[in-house]
Structure 1
Amino acid sequence: MNFDDTPQEAAFRAEARAWIAANAPKQYEEELRKSSLGGTVLKNVNILEVAKAWQKKKADAGWACLHWPKEYGGRGSSSIECVIWQQEEGPFGKLSGMFFIGHGMCGPTIMAFAGEAEKKKYLPPLASGEKVWCQLFSEPAGGSDIAGLRTRAEKRGDNWIINGQKIWTSGAHYSDYGILLTRTDPAVAKHKGLTMFFLDMKSPGVEIRPIKQASGASDFNEVYFADVTIPDSQRLGAVNDGWNVSLTTLMNERMSIGAGVSTGFPELFDFCNSLMLEDGPAIQDRSVRSRLANYAVKASGLKYTSMRAISALSNGERPGPENSIGKLVLGAMLQDIASYAMDLEGAAGALTSADEEIVNGQFQQMLLTSPSMRIAGGTDEILRNIIAERVLGLPGDIRVDKDVPFNKIPTKGR
């Protein structure tokens, strides 16, 4: 594969670079460069407001959600042009984190299953950042088994009444809309009785409770539904076909996580170039160089695996189960890099907050946050099963409840 720009791509890159140079919020550039997986933080400003302003400016100039059709708020660009934009946007791309779920997961699902009127109403403000979306899938009793969900949707006239609970919903506390997977028929096998909807997160009966994390942040939430009304026009796909609809969301989710999250390797490499150990610079230590080489190989593998997925998308193909590979490798790599950086730092790894210790605090936050990457979008175990069964063609796990009606599945051990 030739990664050099074609003349057309070079012209696109030059246009993008010039626009970013003239319009990016450069007053935040240094802070954004120092931000990592531990969390993008800007001092003395509301980062959501900054992110929305930058996204709206991009949308007004035709630089938002580049690969989306123009009528839905995009630019109609090729997948390669999207990659070029991400490269040129650099640290300012971290402001897009607020819209990661909406743009990477909810948007493609709406585009695939909503009616044309709904697409034209909801997608442009999603692309422009004026409206933020979240994904309401996981539940306390389901664990990694999304098909084990218990949130109920009951049809009443032209509406559906929702009761139940979701958990680990990222960004629910600042989201305007969400896509919601519910159970509409408990008398059939668990994968067959699900239906997908989208809803206004300010609807009566929706209660959001932030979850305090070990890192001190509250990015995740519990969401409760008590007789929430959703019109049938906001149903995505056919009744009881929600599992097939959710596969579009899940495949895009795993591809987005695998391709869109930093590995932490650039930060570690820069850190090792400046860190002094007892016997000299860390970068001159043979064991450190060996670990860095190992991480460099993995980071390169993730990059080109992502490029393979992008090439498939440019040919009009749907994201497939092979995209679970990138997410699986990324989650473990982030945790390993953060742990190794903390080992190198020693006691200094416990420091945070002070400006001169920004790098130390960065790895501490990365370590505290990294376990979530091995759970979000499917646990390591789930992803290994997907890769084994759907990519390698190995025999599937024995699933004793596969064809059992959901309401007949025991909920308690004997």
Structure 2
Amino acid sequence: MDLAEYRSAARAWLAGNTPAADGVDAAKTFMARLHDAGYSGITWPAEWGGQGLTQAEERAFAAAARDFSLPTYVFSIGLGMCGPTLLDRGTPEQKGRFLRKLLRGEEIWCQLFSEPGAGSDVAGLQTRAEQVEGGWLVNGQKVWTSVAQHADRGLLLTRTNADAPKHKGLTMFVVDMRGPGVTVRPLRDMTGRAHFNEIFFDDVHIPDENRVGAVDEGWSVAVTTLLHERLSISSGVGMSGQRDNPTSFEALSSAVDTGDPLVRDQLVELYLRSRALALFNQRLSQETKAGIFPGARGSAAKLLLAELTTFSADLAVSLIGPEAVADGHPLADAIALAPAMSLGGGTNEIMRNIIGDRVLNLPPEPRVDKNVPFKDLKVNS
């Protein structure tokens, strides 16, 4: 069928199958039906459970889904970060074991990078993986982990060699989040909700077959994940449509008096920023599928989204007034959460450093720890 027919068929399917119920069980049921209908993993290889279609079909489905509240948030980390990393860096056996279940919603994934002493400087992490008979023994702590309370699997970055410089002695694993020794605790934010978690690993055994990439070469795998993270955050992979964003152009336009020329001018600015980001994401996505590595430009997309999120939240308060932040107002949670977009996935300052260094070729900031063994660094001092 042509793209118009594909989009029409997708819209009709969503109209008849998008659940009114919320919660993880409803989300898993929906994902299974979405996959069976041919709309999950649209561009992923059919060999690993995807549909093997093109970016054109994926964009057509995204256009059809804009007006629906899809219960897919708990799968956003798996679909946008962990799954693409396994597609790029996993073994055929790992792809066969994990990807189809991810696409069908049978397993929820999380990403385990940040630690109390290693946020923006992820390579400073201290969670240790020691090689033992039959695999690895992991001890340490991770923090600010989304959907970990629901996760079945996690992509875990660990330190396996403290004698190497901090970027050289890391190794990536797939960890069973429901296995012995894994403890997940919620972290409540200013909205009163537990959007994030802290995770403790106490003598957690991971078989070597769950290692992603070579031993001590985990940083290159992590860079792949971080690239997909920034692209997925900026493009909204696994998120619902604009219907669920009360600070979007569509939502604000319907909530205020557009007869005021000053209001129209501000809304036009919001539309232009939103459209520019959408087109930039579309270009990066097309290049990725064509084998062109976006590199640090993914950081530019993430930075643009963070600035757009802040701008739209500020605009909402300006147009609606103080009641927008009152408890129970549809805008209150979105406004309270807006600053998080400038932190999660790398702060705005880190994004600007990456862009300056790797896109604009400006001189990098001096690094005194570049060739120093990790064990000799003063960590958390």
Shorter-chain TM-score bucket reads over 0.9
How do residues 101-250 of structure 1 correspond to structure 2 at under 5 angstroms?
101-250=77-226
Asked if residue 386 in structure 1 is aligned to residue 354 in structure 2, the reply is: yes
Show the counterpart of 1:31: none
**More displaced 10-residue stretch of structure 1: 342-351 or 73-82:** 342-351
How do residues 14-413 of structure 1 correspond to structure 2 at under 5 angstroms?
14-25=8-19, 28=20, 45-92=21-68, 94-260=70-236, 267-275=248-256, 281=257, 283-353=258-328, 361-411=329-379
Q: Could you tell me the TM-score, scaled by structure 2's length?
A: 0.93
Shift of 1:95: 1.6
Query: Identity rate of aligned residues, in percent?
Result: 40
Cα distance in 1, alignment partners of residues 300 and 50 from structure 2: 28
Q: 1:131 to 1:269 in 2, by over 3 A?
A: closer
1:11 paired residue among 5, 8, 31: 5
Q: 1:227 to 1:274 in 2, by over 3 A?
A: closer
Aligned length: 376
SS in 1 for 2:281: helix
RMSD value, Cα: 2.0
Cα distance in 2, alignment partners of residues 138 and 192 from structure 1: 17
Cα distance in 1, alignment partners of residues 165 and 115 from structure 2: 18
Name stretches of at least 5 consecutive residues in structure 2 with no aligned partner: none
Shift of 1:267: 3.5
Q: Is the 8 A contact 1:113 1:236 kept in 2?
A: yes
* CA-to-aligned-CA distance 1:136-168 (integer Å, 9 cap, x gap): 000110120110000000001221000000000
Cα distance in 2, alignment partners of residues 331 and 395 from structure 1: 25
Which structure carries more helix by proportion?
1
Q: Is the 8 A contact 1:187 1:406 kept in 2?
A: yes
Cα distance in 1, alignment partners of residues 380 and 219 from structure 2: 25
Show the counterpart of 1:40: none
SS in 2 for 1:131: coil
Q: Is the 8 A contact 1:16 1:88 kept in 2?
A: yes
Q: Could you tell me the TM-score, scaled by structure 1's length?
A: 0.86
Q: Which amino acid aligns with 1:145?
A: D
Q: 1:272 to 1:221 in 2, by over 3 A?
A: same
Q: 1:375 to 1:52 in 2, by over 3 A?
A: same
Q: Is the 8 A contact 1:136 1:180 kept in 2?
A: yes
Show the counterpart of 1:42: none
Q: 1:115 to 1:334 in 2, by over 3 A?
A: same
* CA-to-aligned-CA distance 1:27-70 (integer Å, 9 cap, x gap): x3xxxxxxxxxxxxxxxx54222211111101122221111111
SS in 1 for 2:146: coil
Rg: which structure is higher?
A: 1
Shift of 1:345: 2.8
**More displaced 10-residue stretch of structure 1: 235-244 or 254-263:** 254-263
SS in 1 for 2:345: coil
Q: Which amino acid aligns with 1:108?
A: P
Cα distance in 1, alignment partners of residues 213 and 320 from structure 2: 51
Shift of 1:343: 3.3
Shift of 1:347: 3.7
